[in-house]
């Protein structure tokens, strides 16, 4: 077993960016590979991620099937030290820890973001969402300043770089995921891409293509199934197959470690 589960935090202080949907699908994609995945839902009001896994468990029970999945815990009524202890106690044997945060300003969400090995910030292709990480000029669309959130992550990455060797942890990889790109006007998409490229150079995040706005993602929630659950979804149309490839591309672009290859074999009895 590896000494430290790889922690993937999905964080965006704006709602409606597809954060929980992306988190669930990445968790299930890792479970399909044979990884041991433990999930923590910091949005104790909505509990979208844990509700998804509850629906998945109910579908398995009702159909009498086994599907790769993750154990999900709701984090509520804790301060930062208590949450850190809770996560550590419930993920000791995990390969990956998935943390979904609420789409609002939240102290525990900010703390979780600073502890990520991979920080995923989903955003819709709009300057309303871009404002989370930086502000642009109204005429030129040039980046004029970082947001408080971007500065927070920048400081966290600097702190990690100073302690990564002694803690045996790699640098934080920050990935901004562009969801719903198909619904953005071409000229505006180019402006956002230009601003993201400029901001990425300043702050040091990577940009990855995310999930389009497809009805299938919303339709799957009641059953807890995902696009990777072949043989359990019925007949899929072309758009669904395209969405599956889209998801696989996103997971590949996250460049997550191969924790199965890193496992130390159990000693022979």
108: tokens are 């525990």
Q: What is the pLDDT of residues 11-51, one digit of tens each?
A: 988 878 889 999 999 999 999 999 999 999 999 999 999 99
- Mean pLDDT in residue range 66-73: 97
Identify the pLDDT of residue 78: 96
Give the residue from 147, 81, 112 showing the smallest Cα distance to 10.
112
**For the whole model, what pTM was predicted?**
0.88
Task: Give me the CATH topology for the region 6-262.
Answer: Rossmann fold (3.40.50)
- Mean pLDDT in residue range 63-68: 96
Domain ranges of the chain: 6-262
What percentage of residues in the chain have a pLDDT greater than 70?
Answer: 90
Q: What is the pLDDT of residues 88-131, one digit of tens each?
A: 999 999 999 999 999 888 999 999 998 999 999 998 878 888 88
| Cα 164 from Cα 39, distance rounded (Å) | 24
Helix (H) or strand (E) holding 19: helix 19-32
Identify the pLDDT of residue 208: 92
Identify the pLDDT of residue 182: 59
Longest dimension (CA), the chain: 70
pLDDT band at 2 (very low <50, low <70, confident <90, very high): very low
């Amino acid at each position: 077993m590896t000494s430290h589960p790889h922690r993937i935090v999905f964080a965006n202080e704006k709602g409606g960016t597809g954060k929980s949907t992306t988190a669930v699908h990445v968790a299930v994609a890792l479970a399909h590979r044979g990884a041991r995945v433990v999930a923590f839902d910091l949005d104790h009001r909505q509990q979208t991620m844990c509700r998804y896994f509850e629906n998945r468990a109910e579908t398995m029970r009702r159909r009498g099937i086994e599907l790769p999945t993750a154990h999900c815990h709701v984090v509520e009524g804790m301060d930062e030290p208590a949450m850190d202890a809770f996560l550590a106690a419930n993920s000791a044997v995990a390969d990956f820890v998935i943390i979904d945060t609420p789409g609002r300003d939240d102290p525990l969400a900010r703390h979780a973001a600073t502890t990520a090995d991979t920080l995923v910030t989903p955003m819709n292709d709009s300057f309303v969402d871009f404002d989370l990480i930086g502000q642009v000029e109204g005429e030129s669309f040039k980046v004029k300043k970082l947001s408080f959130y971007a500065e927070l992550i920048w400081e966290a990455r600097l702190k990690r770089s100073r302690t990564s060797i002694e803690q045996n942890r790699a640098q934080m990889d920050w990935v901004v995921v562009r969801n719903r790109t198909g619904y953005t006007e071409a000229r505006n998409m180019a402006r956002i891409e230009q601003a993201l490229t400029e901001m990425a150079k300043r702050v040091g995040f990577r940009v990855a293509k995310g999930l389009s706005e497809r009805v299938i993602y919303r339709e799957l929630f009641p059953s807890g199934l995902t696009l990777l659950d072949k043989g359990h979804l019925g007949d899929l149309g072309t758009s669904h197959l395209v969405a599956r490839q889209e998801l696989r591309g996103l997971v590949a672009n996250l460049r997550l470690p191969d924790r199965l290859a890193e496992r130390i074999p159990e000693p022979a009895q």
